[in-house]
Amino acid sequence: MHRIVNQLGKGSYNGINRLPVRRGQTATHIQDLEPKPFSAIPEPRKLPLLGTAFDYRKFEPKQFHKRVLKRHQELGPIYKETVLPGMTPTIVFTSSSDDLQKMLKIHASMPQRGEMKFLKKARESFGFHGGVASVNGEEWYKMRKQINEHFLNTESVWTYAKEHYEVSKDFADFIQNNLNEENEVPDFRLAMQRWAFEAACVFVLETRCGTLSGEVTENVKVIIDSTSDILVGFVPLFFGLPLWKYFPPKILRLSKRQYLIKCLLFEDIEKTCSMKRTPVIYQGWRKLCMKVPLLQQESILADFLGGGIVTTQHAAAFALYCLANNPEKQEVLRKEIKEFKKKDNISGKTLQGLKYLHACVRETQRLFPLTLGFSRIIPKDLILSGYLVPKDTLVLNVGNIMNNRDERFFKDPDEFLPERWLTSREPSSRFAMSGSFGQGPRMCPGRRFAMQELNCLLVALLDKFHIEYHHKPFELEFQALFAPSEDPQFTFIPLEK
């Protein structure tokens, strides 16, 4: 069995040596009956007016998660931080699974994440709606209701499965046609972006754009680059000082990207992609979209194209990496796929039967979670890890990165063991992580599409190639969501038929 390279070897985690959480501070030992005051929550060293801002002088946004891990090691399972008092919110960071359960139990019909005023401002600066991710309250609720009707309805997601499988088969052919002498595809990162773009277009624009069969046009490159740039640009805007309020250039870059996407998407998709548009379904999505005001329609489409490319691209890279490093697991999965294909055609429904495939995807997301965790502005006072946290505080549960390789929750935590998801789970591990898609009514609306795309990709690629990886080990790199630190340059050895 191959160990999924844990960056510094045993006992280390994401490049940081793991220390046990402080004794007596684990949530299970804490009496909720007598909560300690909010002011007693541990904090990193701070200066009277400057908070912890001085810590961010040489801040490397891509390593943000390492900062969070280090603070947890120094301060225990809960801490709070105010980067610049009066300018940035106080954020409570917790890794306790009890706290996660409590956050999940609050039933808010209109949950709020941390505010993304910068995104709203960037979009509004050129007359574009803020989008579902950046608004709150009634406005969010109305938009989200329309979106859920289509995006979270399994039947409607399954309608696109055939086309998603076609995209992934085209991608397998693309790989086959572009292999070099080392059996690698030069610039495989761009190739994966093409796959993710094409797969997102299937359900967002209900169009095949042909990016896997022809040259990628400049316009498509701009769309793809913009969607990844926007996410990377989020990090300092979200976690850093709110300089964007005073220095517009910071936000102008984001606006420019958003603006380009808007023009390219809505002015003329055929001209944009320089190819004949091939409608694929035209079933519910466009009709549904028409129910909301025009400005919101545009923003919903941009949100989904923006939200649906980089995310699945990274999820796919991590999955291929885990399978490439664990050839015997790869073989078990290939066997499941081959058996399945003898009996059944690929459809949204039949794909649900591939249990080992789902287990591989879950195990990948345990080892390489795509997000830090689960964040909410809590709608009422809550006792977290024994402290009274007042209503309206922004709380970030970072169990995804603190607990995912902790043996208190997962046996042999550094091993890639999809089998652990096939048997009944240890109850203690249930709330260790919030999962990559968030939780509750504000959970990612694209999750079913993302999983369908990923499942189709693994079926199409494993059916055709044995996959290996011979470069530097992947680490997590924070780009609002987690991306692989290395180029996803895999070796594809065609299988004999």
Measured between alpha carbons, how far apart are the two ends of the chain, in Å?
Answer: 27
CB 404 within 8 A of CB 413: yes
CB of 311 to ligand HEM, least distance (A): 3
Question: 3-class DSSP state for residue 237?
Answer: helix
Q: Please, what's the b/e burial string for 151-183 (b: 16 or more CB within 10 A of its CB; e: otherwise)?
A: bbeeebbbbbbbbbbbbbbbbbebbeeebeeeb
DSSP 321-377: HHHHH-HHHHHHHHHHHHHHHHH----HHHHTT-HHHHHHHHHHHHHS-SSS-EEEE
Return residues touching ligand HEM (CB under 6 A).
113, 132-133, 144, 303-304, 307-308, 311-312, 315, 370-371, 436-439, 442-446, 449-450, 481
Smallest distance from ligand HEM to CB 133, Å: 4
The smaller minimum CB distance to ligand HEM, of residues 185 and 317, is found at 317
Q: Is 144 or 405 the residue whose CB approaches ligand HEM more closely?
A: 144
Half-sphere CA count of 90, side-chain side, radius 13 A: 19
Among 141, 151, 309, 313, smallest CA distance to 224 is for 309
Residues 6+ apart with CB under 8 A from 370: 311, 314, 315, 318, 436, 481, 482
Complex with ligand HEM: residue 248 or 440, whichever CB lies closer: 440
> What is the C-alpha to C-alpha distance for residues 360 and 422, in angstroms, rounded to an integer?
10
Q: How far is the CB of 11 from ligand HEM (least distance, A)?
A: 28
Nearer to ligand HEM, 30 or 354 (CB): 354
- Which of 239, 241, 174, 201 is CA-nearest to residue 492? 174
Residue with smaller CB distance to ligand HEM, 354 or 444: 444
CB of 493 to ligand HEM, least distance (A): 27
Amino acid identity, position 96? S
How far is residue 155's CA from residue 161's CA, in Å, rounded to a whole number? 10
Residue 148: CB minimum distance to ligand HEM, A = 9
**Cβ closest to ligand HEM, residue 113 vs residue 408:** 113
**Nearest approach, Cβ of 144 to ligand HEM (angstroms)?**
5
Map tokens 């795509």 to a residue.
370
Least distance to ligand HEM, CB of residue 130, Å: 11
Residue closer to ligand HEM by CB (options 274, 352) is 352
Rank residues 36 and 447 by Cβ distance to ligand HEM and give the closer one.
447
Nearer to ligand HEM, 436 or 491 (CB): 436
| C-beta of residue 134 within 8 angstroms of C-beta of residue 123 | yes
Nearest to 422 by CA among 365, 363, 367, 366: 363
The nearest distance, CB 359 to ligand HEM, in angstroms, is: 17
CB of 225 to ligand HEM, least distance (A): 18
- Degrees to nearest 5, angle at CA 305 with 304 and 308: 75
Name the minimum Å distance from CB 252 to ligand HEM. Answer: 23
- The DSSP-derived string for 370-406 is SSS-EEEE-SS-EEETTEEE-TT-EEEE-HHHHTTT-
Q: Are strands 394-397 and 91-94 parallel, antiparallel or unpaired?
A: parallel
Nearer to ligand HEM, 165 or 449 (CB): 449
